[in-house]
Structure 1
């Protein structure tokens, strides 16, 4: 009998050990480290969640309904997919109230920062780091002038400013600082205990002074010419500051003259110029250099430097594909995050005497109305006219409070300002003024002994010292705020010009189009008439009354103006306004006209232009200096294939400068090295070339003089020629791009050098990485360049980064206003957590624009959110 086989028992699996049991068995050090890591992660998550809450806390309500005290009836705030608000009300007061409310909801910190700048009160928030700026602004007295302007304004303007301020205060009234902006929350972490004050109508007026300051004209150029005079002859200075080339770049107004005090576009007239080139003793130069240092310490409110400017042009119906005028505008200002503009529409549900506005365009937060845009009847655009509205007067002082006037001395006006400084004692500021203006050389203690060292023929001639007074038209009260709202209401050429007549500072080139088919141009603004010894190009001796301003301005009717020119278009790009026969001095420091000539060439060649073609012209990147310089560069022999590969990039180049262009990258690096090699050995650092339009003309004229003295490097024993410098610039540029980007020249890209970094004005350079990443939007690779229509300017002294750019672009079609296009540099919101903080930037960089809805049907069709502001009902 066979034994049954034994059954094999299945293997028993060992018991499973949980992660918790494994953790408990781990050594104490491991468990401690793990608990610490977990705790850290939890803390970080909590902090991150808290940060999100803090950053999102200021985001405004954009739909539903809100009861607001101060309204007489409901106001609709209709936002599109980009958050652009269109406001609808029944009265002007309610419309202005709502604009203030919406501005405050999106941009209050920006508004508050601006009013602290314009009142000279930054140190209350930021401590002694901003004291120099406060001293400078208090010395000029921006807010004091704004207060004096209130009485000059029309009742309707005062009502608008009052209603606007009430709307701002209705929004901020029951909100804590951290509910208004993330900036307040961050500053609170630094110990700032701060509650914003109510908004005042004067706060709005004072911002117009800041706008005027950044667009003030040629004050920097006056100082630069004095510095050049220390080392160079008048002839050499004239080479570096050449006269405007009227034969190469036509002015805005090609003819006309002043007849019996009125400018007539078909008349002729003659005028005179009275240039003067005094010698400047060392003490004067010290004072001017110190003034310049104080000026450079000012915040970049709109930007700084020659990159500031604008393009605008308008074509009539015969030159447009629509049969009606098309107007284009893109102001060039400093780049920042958020951008300078906020798009908005201001609409009366029914236009009447009680409600007069139906307009849309680009607004300044803190200021009621639309600055640039259109209404139902007309469109308008701005470019900086750049008139010479500032002069620096050198003053001989006697003692503390007297100064020399002709054969006598006169007392200065003296006032005392008190500046509150966060965390420190108040600072007392003593401000002195002469007949010419405030002594801006008093803003720094380094000038206290300037006069004692200033050379002069004898001690009596020198007095107690040299001081520098600023004469500036913006320091005299004027009703510029009237002009903004008058432009918004204008319906034809006559009412447009009437509005322009009140536009005192800053003087702008105004272009115009209307629904009746007319196009026009008007130069407005206060431009002083100077005495015979003062041509405005250099600081002048204040002790000689022959140099004074006469007390009269160029009469408005005498300023250049054109309606329906025969050419069928008007192009302005900061070039000369009018030729040398014009009897008044506007300025001698124009942009040199490269952009305007390119615009004119395209408008002349293209025939009938569409809205899309007008937008495309705004993106034109043709480099006019390249067309002139490249043939000379290609004639240079360079050693070896390594350098020739780079040089060959220029052979078939079309001279355009898109972001992905290798030839543009190489040319611009060559240009920067050429300027360095040619001029840095000859000039003081403050006057080194920035590479903009003036240097295009200077170098362009030098090219025909291969052995000219500027080409020689005075720091070597050899005598260099043009070709020596061009060769070295080619070699250095090849080596630089190899280091920066790649050895393979095909991989070079202009945009990788030419980046646009959008920094927050207050916290963007805080030094705290998380804060900077929250508020800044950096690294945009762009095309264009200085003195190019797509004017993404850069300063050759500092590098290739964008310093100023088109702050917005708009194209208005008078045939169908809903067919118009617009784009902002950033977005409408000032809140970094908002989806509209920078939602337009990528479109902007890609050269795109947004549809611009104007009629109510179009606005409703594009609506994403609607907020209704209702009057607060009380029992």
Structure 2
């Protein structure tokens, strides 16, 4: 790995770069490239292999039959990559890459939502500015969520809906997929999704295993496909005897539960069910788990826009409470114009210092949460003029 890092940091051209990537046996990473001559590329690292066609890598494999553990290691040239693609940009959103020689590499991928949103925005124009890129980094729209809503709505039995349920349905029908602070639709959507998942899987898995499932990326892949599968055996509630539930029954039951739950949680006024009341961000320090120390070490909480699988990917687990505490998100946002390096911009979630008593411990948190950036100091004279200087002297 050290040899790979050295090779990458001393690369003179695209060939040198790819040789450096080839030295990384693991982990599998998507590594981006750009140079002064206008070349762009991305390449996966890792020593990849193919299993026998009869082997399903999603299950525990049999190490005794001589088949499940038989691997065909592939040459690095077969690793998924793109070099100066015709569409003129490269990106990564932890999505499934295109097939290589007809083979889709299995992996722990995320849904295509962010990837499709990124490519959809990039294809709209060719005159991108730093400000445009900053706006895209803070984009909160999920086209995947609106697709799911369109699949769910036709299952609802309209005659059985209350006034609040009808209002909630109307809001979902008009939703463009945004997850901004004052949006109401994401609050309704995520509560409905949670109840649909609970009523679908909890009876088979049990409470503990269901909660474990919710904490994985697998559930994100399941939401859309399961919601469309009329014949899935998961719809049947094992706790009811002499009755087999259908997709329509479970989705209607879940919608009623979702609206009732929101009424109990946020009140009877649907217009007050805004996203900022349920989606919050708090940067937690290990010592902040002690209640007395929380306000000294933790940063926040903040009302947060964003959501799961949008470009502003502020992720959360589904819970019965209807509150969504952000558990992960962008560790930094950075915009670099290679024709104007000294005016690059960045932002960190909290601050540059890990010392809670430093003014730089949390001085970027408000800006990060509101989608702003700060100028990166890359010019020596500017750094000297505007910064403090710490000198370590021998005793």
Per the shorter chain, which TM-score range?
A: 0.7 to 0.9
Q: Does 1:572 align with 2:92?
A: yes
CA deviations on 1:349-374 (whole Å, 9 max, x unpaired) are xxxxxxxxxxxxxxxxxxxxxxxxxx
- The number of aligned residues is 387
1:516 to 2, 15, 37: 37
Distance 1:833 1:867, change over 3 A: closer
Distance 1:802 1:513, change over 3 A: same
2: CA distance between counterparts of 1:707 and 1:558? Answer: 38
Q: State the match for 1:502 in structure 2.
A: 23
1:856 to 365, 380, 383: 380
Q: State the match for 1:596 in structure 2.
A: 115
2:316 to 784, 791, 794: 794
- Measure how far apart 1:679 and its partner are: 1.9
Distance 1:506 1:699, change over 3 A: closer
CA deviations on 1:515-536 (whole Å, 9 max, x unpaired) are 2222111111233565777553
1: CA distance between counterparts of 2:277 and 2:93? Answer: 27
2:261 to 716, 723, 736: 736
In structure 1, runs of 5+ residues without a counterpart are 1-479
2: CA distance between counterparts of 1:625 and 1:720? Answer: 26
Q: Does 1:631 align with 2:150?
A: yes
2: CA distance between counterparts of 1:481 and 1:797? Answer: 42
2: CA distance between counterparts of 1:642 and 1:749? Answer: 15
Q: Larger strand proportion, structure 1 or 2?
A: 1
Equivalent position SS for 1:657 = coil
Alignment of 1:168-183 (within 5 A): none
Distance 1:795 1:561, change over 3 A: same
Q: Does 1:866 align with 2:389?
A: yes
2:328 to 804, 807, 826: 804
8 Å Cα contact 1:515/1:815 also seen in 2: no
1: CA distance between counterparts of 2:65 and 2:33? Answer: 42
Alignment of 1:231-310 (within 5 A): none
- Measure how far apart 1:867 and its partner are: 2.9
- Measure how far apart 1:831 and its partner are: 1.2
Q: State the match for 2:141 in structure 1.
A: 622
- Measure how far apart 1:847 and its partner are: 0.8
TM-score (structure 2 length as normaliser) = 0.86
Alignment of 1:551-562 (within 5 A): 553-562=73-82
Q: State the match for 2:250 in structure 1.
A: 725
Q: State the match for 1:652 in structure 2.
A: 174
8 Å Cα contact 2:99/2:105 also seen in 1: no
1: CA distance between counterparts of 2:382 and 2:37? Answer: 22
Equivalent position SS for 1:794 = coil
1: CA distance between counterparts of 2:227 and 2:57? Answer: 30
Q: Does 1:606 align with 2:125?
A: yes
CA deviations on 1:135-166 (whole Å, 9 max, x unpaired) are xxxxxxxxxxxxxxxxxxxxxxxxxxxxxxxx
2: CA distance between counterparts of 1:725 and 1:547? Answer: 38
Distance 1:639 1:547, change over 3 A: closer
Distance 1:691 1:630, change over 3 A: farther
Q: State the match for 1:665 in structure 2.
A: 187
2: CA distance between counterparts of 1:682 and 1:581? Answer: 39
1: CA distance between counterparts of 2:230 and 2:57? Answer: 33
1: CA distance between counterparts of 2:150 and 2:66? Answer: 52
Q: State the match for 2:5 in structure 1.
A: 484
CA deviations on 1:112-140 (whole Å, 9 max, x unpaired) are xxxxxxxxxxxxxxxxxxxxxxxxxxxxx
In structure 2, runs of 5+ residues without a counterpart are none
Alignment of 1:755-770 (within 5 A): 755-761=280-286, 763-765=287-289, 768-770=290-292
1: CA distance between counterparts of 2:8 and 2:313? Answer: 27
Distance 1:836 1:576, change over 3 A: same
Query: Which of the pair has the greater relative contact order for Cα pairs under 8 Å at 6+ separation?
Result: 1
